[in-house]
Amino acid sequence: QKRAADGHVDNDWTTDFCNKVQEMQHFFGLPPSGELTNETLAVMRRPRCGLSDVERFEETIRWKKNTLSYRLEIAGYNFPIPASKVHKVFRAAWKIWSNVAPMKFRKRNRKEADIVISFHNGDHKDGSPFDGKGGILAHAFQPGYGIGGDVHFDADEEWSFNSTGFNLLAVAVHEFGHALGLPHSSDLGAIMYPAYNFAPTHELQLSFRDVKDVQNMYGDPNFDSLFSKNPPPRTPDKCDPDLSFDAVSELQQEVLFFKDRFMWRRHPKFDETGMTLISSLWPDNVPSYLDAVYENVERNVIVFFKGQKYWILRQLKLEEGFPRNISDFGFPYTIKSVDAALHFRNKRLTVFFTGKLCWRSLYWGTLYSPLITRYLSGNCGALWCDTSGNKMVTGNHRETFAELQRKPPVLGYIPVQ
């Protein structure tokens, strides 16, 4: 009887654990297998906020006033940078929220404050100990009296104002969102996404989801004129019928689809097309909003284009001396950017598209004279080659080169054969 009872408890615990893992996998856009796969473990090991991902606050709790006071406590913490700069960072973090919600934040030096911001090591007597470098970076408490709204940072982290270590501003904006009552967001592009997503090549700003969530709690200050000039960025949806890609490229067995600062990774062995940030694969090297990308298998490199610059990476590492100017490829000074690039593995040939000009390169850095192509069905947005033929993406339309060749020529067209 005792064995049966113990086995029943074990089964219940296993089922409950698997359900929790499935919830977390669904939240992060992973296949909800309920198993601790390598991809799941990788997500769990990422630097992150200390609050739970899938367990939302029991109810929506917000401050009942729109002017909040805060106080910074850093006494006894040997901060490697001046306290004045830390204060400046926190003012900037509060301003990011007050720019989109009718809120004001006042700093106090000694008086009681609604929100106390402090740095701690390990167990600091709030029931949520820090774990040293990496792992949990900070945590905050939902609005309320006493410890409510307070924000704690792990003093063991390497905090910085740039791309080294962990960016203090990026983490502060996230934790201040919790202090205002916002839970974690499953939107990969949101500030309130639980994992640390700061990329030095991307301007730190609230996403459309962040803005809507805070305005649902504290009201809409009627910033229509502001948003019409600089609307908050939306995370692209792969199911959007109007979605177009910035670039498409193969990378070993995968096909990568780039859009803004995001990319989808399509692997032939998996049904799901996973979405991630470009910075998650190339943290400091590859910019967002790319123009073109292609993989050169013979040289074992992948090449990225944006504006008049290009980057070459080998085994995910930036080659020395890059980025460089696209004039290295032989483009005249009138060419300011590359719209798309396509590399033919079996022919060792690369084709570049600039407006309605098509350039062939048989050797690295050597261009043949431009060829006038047939009109595309739209601006050439992204190109790639797969095993079933040459696929072309023009805006949100997909067609093969065979289909393209059936269109009326403009001046003439030399097929890539």
Q: Is 12 annotated as a binding residue?
A: no
CA distance 380 to 133: 45
Ligand-binding annotation for 149, yes or no, is no
DSSP readout, 92-115?
HHHHHHHTTSS-EEEE-SSS--SE
Tell me: is residue 202 an annotated ligand-binding position.
Answer: no
Helix (H/G/I), strand (E/B), else coil: 306: strand
Lookup result for tokens 């924000």: 151
How far is 368 from 351, CA to CA, in rounded Å?
10
175 a catalytic residue:
yes
How far is it, in rounded angstroms, from Cα 416 to Cα 256?
A: 23
Among candidate residues 23, 35, 175, 250, the one labeled active-site is 175
| Residue 291 annotated in ligand binding | yes
* 8 Å CB contact between 405 and 416: no
Alpha-carbon torsion (48, 51, 55, 60), positive or negative: negative
263 is in an annotated binding site: no
Is 148 annotated in some ligand binding site?
A: yes
For residues 4 and 66, give the distance between their C-alpha atoms in angstroms, rounded to a whole number. Answer: 57
ω into 32 cis (within 30 of 0)? no
Query: Is 53 labelled a binding residue?
Result: no
Residue type, 226: L
Residue pair 343/304 in contact (Cβ under 8 Å)? The answer is: no
Per-residue tokens: 415: 């097929």
Q: Is 184 annotated as a binding residue?
A: yes
Please indicate if the annotation marks 343 as binding a ligand: no
Q: How far is 218 from 241, CA to CA, in rounded Å?
A: 33
Q: Is 150 annotated as belonging to a binding site?
A: yes
Task: Determine whether the annotation assigns residue 330 to a binding site.
Answer: no
Q: How far is the C-alpha of 66 from the C-alpha of 253, rounded, in Å?
A: 52
Whose tokens are 């261009």? That residue is: 367
Tell whether residue 187 is among the known ligand binding residues.
no
DSSP 377: S
Tell how far CA 323 is from the center of its chain: 21
- Cα torsion angle, 388, 392, 395, 397, sign: negative
Confirm or deny that 124 is annotated as ligand binding. Answer: yes
The sign of the dihedral angle between the CA atoms of 269, 275, 344, 364 is negative
Bind-site residues for Zn(2+)? 49, 124, 126, 139, 152, 174, 178, 184, 192
Bind-site residues? 49, 114, 124, 126, 131-132, 139, 148, 150, 152, 154, 157, 174, 178, 184, 192, 246, 291, 341
Catalytic residues: 175
Bind-site residues for Ca(2+)? 114, 131-132, 148, 150, 154, 157, 246, 291, 341
